[in-house]
Amino acid sequence: MEDRSHKVLLALVMLFLFAVIVLQYVCPGTECQLLRLRALSPAAAADPYRAEDETPARFVPRFNFSDGDLLRRVDFNIKGDDLIVFLHIQKTGGTTFGRHLVRNIQLEQPCECRAGQKKCTCYRPNRRETWLFSRFSTGWSCGLHADWTELTNCVPSVVDSKKEVRLRPSR
């Protein structure tokens, strides 16, 4: 009988150790949300910027976009003079998104990408004029990782230099 009770005790200890190891993989660190009952309360879910210990929040959102702002549709006229300028912000998935713009976007005249080349040609229908200004279509025309200020100064001069004066759109 004593041998059987030792086996049951050993099985319970092994089960407890297994549960602790699994918990460490599922919920690493000391701040495990699965173990907190307060996280399930409606008050904690109401304000995601409120600190749990009631200290001032480290991150306060400056831009409170409405659903209308986030879900608005923008009409892009590929046959007109509309131009998409892609501003690449580092470490935000910009390279992947930039590649998606030239390879996967569904337009009347999608970009033509050749195997082995990083740059694609993104011409408007029936015109040898680009509709996309990004490193994957025009290259590093405004420098490596150009920021907003560099792009606003550089893009008009680069785009306008490739057109005849009479064909330049007013901006």
CB atoms within 10 A of CB 82: 13
Whole-prediction pTM: 0.53
Judge if 19 and 94 occupy the same domain.
no
Judge if 42 and 83 occupy the same domain.
no
Whether residue 158 is contained in a domain is answered as yes
Asked if 103 and 120 count as a contact pair (C-beta separation under 8 A), the reply is yes
Whether residue 63 is contained in a domain is answered as no
| Phi, psi (degrees; rounded to nearest 5) at 133 | -110, 100
Whether residue 121 is contained in a domain is answered as yes
Judge if 112 and 156 occupy the same domain.
yes
Q: What is the pLDDT of residues 62-103, one digit of tens each?
A: 677 788 887 888 888 888 888 889 988 888 888 898 888 888
Judge if 102 and 147 occupy the same domain.
yes
For residue 35, the enclosing domain spans: 1-54
- Catalytic residues, by residue number, are 145
| Residue in the structure block whose two tokens are 């550089």 | 154
Judge if 86 and 4 occupy the same domain.
no
Whether residue 50 is contained in a domain is answered as yes
Tell me how many domains the chain contains.
2
Give me the pLDDT at residue 35, please: 57
Give me the pLDDT at residue 44, please: 47
Whether residue 70 is contained in a domain is answered as no
Judge if 161 and 85 occupy the same domain.
yes
| Phi, psi (degrees; rounded to nearest 5) at 10 | -65, -40
Q: What is the pLDDT of residues 1-32, one digit of tens each?
A: 677 888 889 999 999 988 888 777 777 665 56
